[in-house]
Structure 1
Amino acid sequence: MLESYQLDAGSAVSTMAHAELQCSSQPSISVTRRQSILFVTSEISDYIKAGGLGEVSAALPRALRHHYDVRILIPGYRQVLSQIGAVEEVARLSASYGIPACSLGRAMTRDGLIVYVLLCPELYDRDGSPYVDSFGVDWCDNDIRFARLGLAAADIASGNGDPLWRADLLHLNDWPSGLASAYLAWRGQRIPTILTIHNLAYQGNFERSRLSHLGIPDAAFHIEGVEFYGKVSFLKAGIYYSSHITTVSSTYAQEITRPEFGCGLDGLLRARAEEGRLDGIINGIDESWDPSTDPYLVSRFSAENCRGKRANAESVRRSFGLALNTGPLFAVVSRLVHQKGVDLAISAAETIVSQGGQIAFIGQGEPRFEAELQALAGRHPGSIGVKIGYDEGDARRMYAGSDFLLMPSRFEPCGLSQMYAQRFGSLPIAHRTGGLADTIEDGVNGFLFGEPSLNRFKDAIKRGLDTFRSRSRLIAMRRAAMKRPHGWDRSASRYQEVYERACHAAFA
C-alpha cells in the first residue's frame, strides 16, 4: 500500500461503516433510498465535448437523478470555467507525488445538477480540447492531468472532498478516470466503482518511468494490475480494479471479448464477462432531439406529418452549395477517421451521384480525409458539399433534411448519430457492428450490411435508393425510425441494476 495513502484505524473503520450503511442496509438501493453517485468524466456537453462521451455525461446523470443524488466531477478546463458561472471552493486537495494540489469547486447547471470542478490552472487552463492542443497533438502531461482527476474522485469517495457530501459509488468513464478505482484499491477502501468503456481503442497508455509521478506502487506494474505491454494503462487499471464494467451496447460488450475488437484487453474483459462483471447497456439520446420542437430546424415536423423535411433539405442544399432538386439526399456527420469508414463513404460517392443522389459531409479529423473530401466536392459541384468542422445547427438540419445517413463504421461501440438520424426521419445505412446492430432493424428503420467492404456498403446503398423510389415504403420506414424508443429511461434502469449489484458485491 502506498505510504501516503495510509489511513488511521479510526478513519478506516468510519469509512467502511459509512459505505456499508449506504450499500448494505437496504435490499434495494434504487427504490428505498437516494444513494450518492459521483459521475466522473473528462467532458460534458453542457460546457465542453470532444465526442459521444460528452453527450452521455450530460444525459445519463440527469436520467438517474430521479433515483439518486448524482453529482458530476470534471476538470476545470478554460472552456468550462468560462461558462459554468459561480464556483464555490469547498476543499483543497493536497499534492501527491508528481500530482499537483488543486482546489475543488462546486457549481450548478441551469437545471440544478451539481458539478464539482477541479481548479488547477497549471493543468487545465489551456486552449484546445480536453485531450489535445489546438494542433491536435496530445498534451505531454495528460498522465498527470487525468491522474489528478482520478485521485480527486477517490478523495471525494473517501470523504476528503466536499465536507457536506461524499460518494457512495463512483461511476467512471473511459481511461481519463480509470485510476480512481486503483487509488481506492491501493488505499484498501472497498467503495464500489463502475467503469463505463465508451471506446476501447482509447486507453491512456504511458511510459513505465511515470510510475512514481503517478503514485502507482511498483507491485501494481504487473499483468494483474496496470501493466499493458510494458506501459502503464489507465484503462486497464480501471478494468482491473473496478467493481463492475459496462460498455455502451450489448453487441459491443460481446465484441470486445474477442481478439479482433479487444485491442489487447480481450483476455481481461473475457474474464470479467465470465465473472458476471461486464454488461452492455445501450446509450439513449436526450429529449432535445425532437423534430417537433427543435429550434435549429427551419421547419418542424413529426412522424405523422413529415412534410417539414423538405424545407430542411432545401436549407441543407443551399448551405452546402448543392443543386436544388428532389432526388435523394445523403448525409455524413462524423469524425473523419479510419474507424468511421470515411474512405468507404468517399469511394461510394460515385454510385450515389450516378443515381441522382447528393451528399452533404460535415466533420473534421485526419488531414488526408479532409483533403480527399474537398477534392471530391470539387469533382462533383452541385452534387457533393463538404464542411470541415462542426456546427450543431448544420448537423441537426442535416439529420432533419436528409433521406439517408451514411455510417459505415468499422467498429462502433454505440453510436449516437444513427439514433439522431432515426429520430429525425433519416434512415441510417450502417455496418452491422456494436451499437449500430443493436439500434437498427434492417429493412425496418434503416439498412445494415454485414462486412465493412465497399461492395457490401454499395449493396446497402442501392437498397436505400430502391426504397426512396417507393414512396409508401419510404414513409413507412421513416415512421418506424422516428417512433423507435430513443430515450434514456430503459438504460437508466439497467444502470440502477448494475449499481445495486456492484454495491452489494463490494460488501458480500
Structure 2
Amino acid sequence: MTMTKRRIILITPENRDKFKVGGLGKVTKLLENGLKEAAVEVKVVAPDTNIYGQLFAPKTEKNNRDLGLAAVRLINSGFDPDWVWVHDWGGIWSADEVKKYLPNTKVVWTIHSPILLNGYGYGGYNGSDKPIDWGDSFFDFGGLIKQGVKVSNKISAVSTTFAKNITRSQLFEEAKEIEGINNGIDLDEWKISNKNSLSVFKAIYKRRLQMKLGLAVTEVPVFVFISRLVGQKGLEILTRVLPKFLTNNPAQFLILGGGDKYWTNKVKRLERKFGDKLKAILTADFELPKELLRGADYLVLPSVSEPFGLVVAEAKRMGAVPIVSLVDGLADQVVDGKNGLGFGKYGANGLEEKLMEAVSRFKSEWQIKVAVKNILEVDSYQKMTQGYLSWLYEPRT
C-alpha cells in the first residue's frame, strides 16, 4: 500500500537562507529541512529582504498579505497542500489572504513571539499589573490575534509551557486547542570537538575569547548574554544587578545583541565603567554566538517572557550552563539545580542570587556534570519536526 504524499506550504516572514531577524528565521529553516528529510513535499514562501516595519504599519500588513497571495497562486497553479503553515503574528495576515480566496484550505498557525504575557505587549513593558487594552480592531494587536484564531484550523506555540500560558488569555478564548511543541536545533551545527575533555575544550576557547575581546586572560567565570536588547529579555533587572555583581566578584561578562537605543546606551555606560570585566558587542550577529558560547561558562537570560529561548538550547549544547528566569519555554528547558540555575519570582534579587550561586559553583563537580549532561540532552530539529507531523497528520483518541 502506497502512502499518500504529504504536502505543506510553509509561509514565513523570515528564512535563514534569505533573511532573518532572530530565532524565527532559524526555526523555519530547520522546519523546512526537517520536513524534507521526512519526505514531505514542502514549498516555502518567504521574502528576499526585510519586510518588517512598525508593528501595525500598512507596509508590514501588505508585505505579509503578499506572502499569502503568493501561496494562493501556488495552490492555483496545481500544488494542493494538506496544510498552509503560517508563523507568528505577521502570518495571520498571510493566512487571512489564503482563507479569503481559498476558504477550504487548512491553515496551521505557530506562535513564536511573547505577544502578551506578564504585562508585556510586543513593543515593551507597560510598567503595571493591569491588563493591556488590546481593542477589537483587526489592525489592533488584540484584534489581529483574534483574527488568527478565527482563520486557523490548528494553533501551536513553540514550547509546552508557553502554550499553556497563552491558552489562559482572553485573546485565545475561542481557540479549541493550542499545542505546545518545543523547538529543536541542528545538533551538528551546534557541537563541540570531542578531541579533548570538556574542561580542556572550554579552557582553550575561553582563553581565545578573552584575548580577542581584550579581557584579562585569567581563570574566572565568564558569563554571556546573547539576545535582542529589548525590555522583554530582562535587561531592566540585568543592568540593575551587574554593577554590584561585577564590583564584588571575580567574573567577566559579555553582552551580544542589537536593539533599543535606550538599552544599548545603558549597556555602553556599563562597559565604560567596567571595561576590564564587561565587553559589549552591540550588533545582531548570527555567527559570533558560537564563539562566545564555546568559551563561556554560563549563559544568562532573565527574560520576563520567553516563548522558547533558542539560545538556551544552543548554550547547553556548547557546554555553557544556563541561568534563566523560569518562565514559559525557559521553564521547559531548565530545572533549577539539575541542568542549570533558575529563579521563579521575576526580579533583581532572584537574578543576583543565581549569579552569586554560579560564582560559588564555578569549576565545581556540579558545573562540569551539568555541562556534560546538557550537551547530550538537547532536542534536535528532527524531533521537533516529527512532533509537528504527528500532531498534524495522526488522529488522536
Q: 1:45 corresponds to which residue?
A: 16
Partner SS for 1:332: strand
User: Are residue 240 (structure 1) and residue 150 (structure 2) matched?
Assistant: yes
Q: 2:3 corresponds to which residue?
A: 32
Asked if the contact 1:50/1:130 (under 8 Å) is kept, the reply is no
Distance 1:445 1:76, change over 3 A: same
1:75 to 43, 47, 50: 47
Q: For residues 55 and 190 of structure 2, what CA distance do their matches in structure 1 show?
A: 36
Distance 1:391 1:318, change over 3 A: farther
Asked if the contact 1:131/1:138 (under 8 Å) is kept, the reply is no
Q: For residues 122 and 240 of structure 2, what CA distance do their matches in structure 1 show?
A: 33
Aligned residue runs from structure 1 range 300-449, under 5 A: 300-301=193-194, 304-353=197-246, 354-449=248-343
Q: Letter of the 2:46 partner, please give it.
A: I
Instruction: Note the alpha carbon deviations across 1:273-302, whole angstroms, 9 max, x for none.
Output: xx3x3101010011343333xxxxxxx447
Q: For residues 48 and 231 of structure 1, what CA distance do their matches in structure 2 show?
A: 24
Asked if the contact 2:224/2:293 (under 8 Å) is kept, the reply is yes
Q: 1:267 corresponds to which residue?
A: 170
Structure 2: runs of 5+ lacking an equivalent: 124-134
Q: For residues 52 and 498 of structure 1, what CA distance do their matches in structure 2 show?
A: 22
Q: 1:149 corresponds to which residue?
A: 67
Q: Letter of the 2:40 partner, please give it.
A: Y
* Count of paired positions: 379
Q: Letter of the 1:178 partner, please give it.
A: I
What's the Cα RMSD here?
Answer: 2.7
Asked if the contact 1:336/1:369 (under 8 Å) is kept, the reply is yes
Q: For residues 421 and 484 of structure 1, what CA distance do their matches in structure 2 show?
A: 12
How much does 1:200 deviate?
A: 4.5
Percent of aligned pairs with the same residue? 25
Aligned residue runs from structure 1 range 415-494, under 5 A: 415-470=309-364, 472-494=365-387
Q: Letter of the 1:428 partner, please give it.
A: P
Structure 1: runs of 5+ lacking an equivalent: 1-25, 78-128, 206-222, 259-265, 293-299
Q: 2:181 corresponds to which residue?
A: 281
Q: For residues 401 and 443 of structure 1, what CA distance do their matches in structure 2 show?
A: 22
Distance 1:437 1:307, change over 3 A: same
Partner SS for 1:389: coil
Q: For residues 269 and 40 of structure 1, what CA distance do their matches in structure 2 show?
A: 22
Partner SS for 1:307: helix
Asked if the contact 2:227/2:256 (under 8 Å) is kept, the reply is yes
Distance 1:349 1:456, change over 3 A: same
Q: Letter of the 1:43 partner, please give it.
A: E
Q: 1:497 corresponds to which residue?
A: 390
Asked if the contact 2:229/2:258 (under 8 Å) is kept, the reply is yes
Distance 1:137 1:244, change over 3 A: closer
**Which one has a bigger Cα radius of gyration?**
1
Q: For residues 437 and 458 of structure 1, what CA distance do their matches in structure 2 show?
A: 18
Asked if the contact 1:313/1:397 (under 8 Å) is kept, the reply is no
Q: Letter of the 1:36 partner, please give it.
A: R
Distance 1:67 1:194, change over 3 A: same
What TM-score do the two structures reach when normalised by structure 2? 0.87
Distance 1:230 1:407, change over 3 A: closer
